[in-house]
Amino acid sequence: MSLPRIGFIGIGLMGEAMTRRLLDLGHAVTVWNREPERLDLVVPHGAVAAASPAEVAGASDIVLLCVLDRQAVEACVFGPSGVATSAAARDRLLVDMSTIEPAAARALAERAASEAGLRWIDAPVSGGPAAARDGTLTIMAGGAAQDMAQAHDVLAALGAHVTHMGDVGAGQTAKMINQAIVGAGFALMSEVALLAEASGIDAARLPDCLAGGLADSVLLQKLFPRIHARQFDPPIGYARQLLKDLQAVTAFANDVDCELPLVQAATQRYDAYVAGGGALADSASLIRLYESARNTASKKTSS
């Protein structure tokens, strides 16, 4: 049985890694990106460049999309030469792996079905480019059961954990919760790294010291060492992207009448970091904001 032809729209950090993974597994992959120079990262490995999202749809059995935000999703699907403008798009399956608001996912899916006969799955991911390259992402999905069945093998090729959470929008709801944990956790790891370093203990030993206790986590074991070592280049995720996600979490929480003061505090931290020039810095490098504030306070004290 031949593998489905894949279209991939959005060759950012995650899109590049997922496209390379699918090519390695033998899929034919047709790609498009708003900045065409990014295609040079995947075309030499076998991807075929398309001139538009519509052309991607015409060459694919399943279209995957991984772009910055709702506006980008909407432009790629409904804009001039978007997926929905292709006659071949009718009854195609579109899997949106971007992180957008649950209500937006539902609205876009309804519009895609009514205007172009497109079927829609929202399948945001977590794990970063390395996990995407290895096929070990966590994927939280929303969509019809029959559509999930069609997408199963492709999603399983990209993710070690693929969970069907319910109808369209349910995957994005799970991703909101994921990003609440990630955003607050990244800020917390920055704070405890500073605390450990200022205390004079061997901060590098903390993950081993706390392993197995209630404080143990993937963030402690994988993120904390990067923060402590200041290993932020090249970025594996941008601060502006995490800020965008945190802002979406707080908006979603307001919609369902939930107060999230910890998440709001983390959002304010990232807002300040991005506004201060950290937009394209690694999302784990938030500790630089704390260090800057500490240095400023120290100078004021000594003057």
- Residues 126 and 90 grouped into a single domain: yes
Q: How does residue 279 score in pLDDT terms, banded at 50, 70 and 90?
A: very high
Output the pTM of the full model. Answer: 0.92
- Residues 46 and 123 grouped into a single domain: yes
The residue out of 121, 148, 167 marking a domain boundary is: 167
User: What are the CB-based long-range contacts (under 8 Å, 24+) for 287-295?
Assistant: 287/190, 287/193, 287/194, 287/227, 287/230, 289/190, 290/190, 290/191, 290/194, 291/194, 294/194
User: Which tokens hold the place of 283?
Assistant: 């999302």
- Residues 97 and 199 grouped into a single domain: no
- Residues 120 and 148 grouped into a single domain: yes
- Residues 46 and 121 grouped into a single domain: yes
CATH code: domain of residue 283: 1.10.1040.10
Task: Give the pLDDT of residue 2.
Answer: 87
**Digit-coded pLDDT (tens) for 49-107:** 999 999 999 999 999 999 999 999 999 999 999 999 999 889 999 999 999 999 999 99
- Residues 178 and 163 grouped into a single domain: no
- Residues 209 and 225 grouped into a single domain: yes
Q: Is the pLDDT of residue 298 over 80?
A: no
- Residues 155 and 184 grouped into a single domain: no
- Residue 1 covered by a domain: no
- Residues 88 and 179 grouped into a single domain: no
* Amino acid code (one letter) for 294: R
Domain boundaries, position 106: 6-167
**Digit-coded pLDDT (tens) for 209-236:** 999 999 999 999 999 999 999 999 999 9
Q: Are strands 137-142 and 125-126 parallel, antiparallel or unpaired?
A: antiparallel
Question: How many Cβ atoms from other residues are within 10 Å of residue 201's Cβ?
Answer: 12
Q: How many domains does the chain have?
A: 2
CATH code: domain of residue 41: 3.40.50.720
